[in-house]
Structure 1
Amino acid sequence: MADTSIGTPEQLRDPDYTPPLHKAIPLGIQHVLAMFVSNVTPAIIVAGAAGFGFGSNSPDFPELLYLIQMAMLFAGIATLLQTITLGPVGAGLPIVQGTSFAFLPIMIPLVAGKGVDGLAALFGGVVIGGLFHALLGTFIGRIRFALPPLVTGLVVTMIGLALVRVGIQYAAGGVPAIGTEEYGSALNWSAAVLVIVVTLALKFFTRGMLAVSAVLIGLVAGYVYAILVGILPVASITGSWNSAAAFALPDPFRYGFEFSVAAIVGFCLMAVVSAVETVGDVSGVTKGGAGREATDREITGATYADGLGTAVAGVFGSFPNTSFSQNVGLIAMTGVMSRHVVTCGAIFLIVCGLIPKVGGVIRTVPIEVLGGGVIVMFGMVVAAGVSMLSDVDWNRRNMVIFAVSLSVGLGLQLEPQAVQYLPDWASVLMVSGLLPAAFLAIVLNLVLPEHLPEDTAAPEPGRHRQPTGLPLETPRH
Structure 2
Amino acid sequence: MTKNSIGTAAQLRDPNYTPALAKAIPLGIQHVLAMFVSNVTPAIIVAGAAGFGFGSNSPDFPQLLYLIQMSMLFAGVATLIQTIGFGPVGARLPIVQGTSFAFIPIMIPLVAGKGVDGLAALFGGVLVGGLFHAMLGTVIGKIRFALPPLVTGLVVTMIGLALVKVGIEYAAGGVPAKASGAESYGSLLSWSAALVVIFVTLALKFFARGMLSISAVLIGIIVGYFYALAVGMLSFDAISGSWARSAAFALPQPFKYGFEFSAAAIIGFCLMAFVSAVETVGDVSGITKGGAGREATDKEIQGATFADGFGTAIAGIFGGFPNTSFSQNVGLIAMTGVMSRHVVTIGAIFLIICGLIPKVGGVIRTIPIEVLGGGVIVMFGMVVAAGISMLSDVVWNRRNMVIFAVALSVGLGLQLEVMNVAPGAPNALQHLPDTLRILGASGILPAALIAIVLNLVLPQELADEATDQVAGGMSGNSQNG
User: Which of 397, 400, 422 in structure 2 is aligned with 1:398?
Assistant: 400
Q: Is the 8 A contact 2:134 2:306 kept in 1?
A: yes
User: Of residues 438, 447, 450 in structure 2, which corresponds to 1:428?
Assistant: 438
Which residue in 2 is equivalent to 1:327? 329
Partner of 1:103: 103
Distance in structure 2 (CA, Å) of the matches to 1:183 and 1:59? 23
CA contact (8 A) 2:15 2:93 kept: yes
TM-score scaled to structure 2, two decimals?
A: 0.94
Question: Within 1, Cα distance between the matches of 2:202 and 2:461?
Answer: 42
Structure 1 CA distance, aligned partners of 2:4 and 2:91? 25
Q: Is the CA contact 2:397–2:466 (under 8 Å) kept in the aligned structure 1?
A: no
Q: Distance in 1 between matches of 2:432 and 2:151?
A: 26
Q: Which secondary structure does the structure 2 equivalent of 1:322 belong to?
A: strand
Q: Which residue type is aligned with residue 393 of structure 1?
A: V
Question: CA contact under 8 A between 2:83 and 2:93: conserved in structure 1?
Answer: yes
CA distance, structure 1, for counterparts of residue 331 and residue 144 of structure 2: 23
Counterpart in the other structure of 1:380: 382
**SS in structure 2 at match of 1:419:** coil
Aligned residue for 1:269?
271
The aligned amino acid for 1:432 is S
Following superposition of structure 1 onto structure 2, how do residues 262-301 of structure 1 map, counting pairs within 5 Å? 262-301=264-303
Q: Which residue of 2 aligns with 1:18?
A: 18
Aligned pairs for 1:415-454 (under 5 A) are 415-416=417-418, 417-452=427-462
2:193 to 172, 191, 194: 191
Provide the C-alpha distance between the structure 1 equivalents of 2:132 and 2:74, rounded to a whole number of angstroms: 18
Gaps of 5+ in 1: 464-477
- State how far apart, in whole Å, the 1-side matches of 2:190 and 2:387 are: 29
Inter-partner Cα distance in structure 2 for 1:435 and 1:128 = 17
How many angstroms apart in 1 are the aligned matches of 2:226 and 2:394? 44
Deviates more, 1:423-432 or 1:117-126: 423-432
Q: CA deviation at 1:451?
A: 3.2
How far the C-alpha of 1:424 sits from its partner, in A, is 1.0
Q: 2:155–2:387: 8 Å Cα contact kept in structure 1?
A: yes
- Over 3 Å counting, the alpha-carbon distance change for 1:186 and 1:75 in structure 2 is same
Give the distance between the partners of 1:218 and 1:24, measured in 2 at CA: 26
What's the C-alpha RMSD, in Å, of the aligned pairs? 1.3
| Structure 1 residue 460: Cα displacement | 4.0
For residues 229 and 180 of structure 1, the distance between their equivalents in structure 2, rounded to whole angstroms, comes to: 19
CA distance in 1, matches of 2:332, 2:2: 11
- Give, as a single letter, the amino acid of the residue that structure 2 aligns with 1:321: N
Structure 2 gap segments, 5+ residues each? 419-426, 472-481
User: Aligned partner of 2:325: which letter?
Assistant: S
Deviations, residues 416-436 of structure 1 (Å, cap 9, x unaligned):
110011111110000100000
Q: In the alignment, is the contact (CA less than 8 A) between 1:130 and 1:320 conserved in 2? A: yes
CA shift digits 1:158-180 (9 cap, x unpaired): 00000000000000000111122
Deviations 1:190-216 (A, max 9, x none): 000000000000011011110110000
Q: Counterparts in 2 of 1:145-164, with a 5 A limit?
A: 145-164=145-164
Cα pair 1:2 1:336 within 8 Å, conserved: no
Matches within 5 A, 1:187-226: 187-226=189-228
Q: Distance in 2 between matches of 1:262 and 1:335?
A: 43
Which aligned pairs between 1:237-386 and structure 2 lie closer than 5 A?
237-386=239-388
Equivalent in the alignment of 2:43? 43
- What is the aligned length? 461
Letter aligned with residue 26 of structure 1:
P
Residue 444 of structure 1 aligns with an amino acid whose one-letter code is L
Q: Contact (CA 8 Å) 2:396, 2:466: kept in 1 or not?
A: no
Residues 116, 459 of structure 1: alpha-carbon distance in 2 compared, 3 angstrom cutoff:
closer
SS at match of 2:461: coil
Larger relative helix fraction? 2
How far is the alpha carbon of 1:458 from its aligned partner? 6.1
Instruction: State the distance in 2 between where 1:4 and 1:262 align.
Output: 52
Map of 1:472 onto structure 2: none
1:211 alignment partner AA: S
Contact 2:281 / 2:301 at 8 angstroms: preserved in 1?
A: yes
Instruction: Say which SS state the counterpart of residue 98 (structure 1) adopts.
Output: strand
Letter in 2 for 1:451: E
| Aligned 8 A contact 2:396 2:467 in 1 | no
Secondary structure in 1 matching 2:220: helix
Q: Which residue is 2:232 aligned to?
A: 230
Answer whether contact 1:2 1:335 (CA < 8 A) is retained.
no
Contact preservation (8 Å) 2:398, 2:465: no
SS state of the match for residue 143, structure 1? helix
Whole-angstrom CA distance in 2 between matches of 1:456 and 1:271: 33
Partner of 2:121: 121
Q: Deviations over 1:145-169 (max 9, x none)?
A: 0000000000000000000000000
1:243 Cα deviation (Å)?
A: 0.2
Taking a change above 3 Å as real, the CA distance of residues 292 and 456 of structure 1, as seen in their structure-2 partners, is closer
1:53 aligns to what?
53
Is the 1:2–1:333 contact (alpha carbons within 8 Å) kept by the matching residues of 2? no
2: distance between equivalents of 1:410 and 1:233? 40
Structure 2: how far apart are the matches of 1:231 and 1:391? 45
The alpha-carbon deviation at position 229 of structure 1 amounts to: 0.3
The equivalent of 2:34 in structure 1 is 34
Aligned-pair CA distance for 1:86: 1.1
Is the contact made by 2:398 and 2:467 (CA closer than 8 Å) also made in structure 1?
A: no
Contact in 1 for aligned 2:397/2:464 (Cα 8 Å) = no
User: What letter matches 1:104 in structure 2?
Assistant: I
Partner of 1:475: none
Partner of 2:62: 62
d(CA) in 2 for partners of 1:438, 1:13:
37
User: 2:142 aligns to what?
Assistant: 142
Matches within 5 A, 1:75-114: 75-114=75-114
The AA in structure 2 aligned to 1:426 is L
The secondary structure found in structure 1 opposite 2:256 is coil
Deviation beyond 2 Å, 4+ runs, structure 1 = 455-461
Query: How many percent identity over aligned positions?
Result: 80
TM-score normalized by the length of structure 1: 0.95
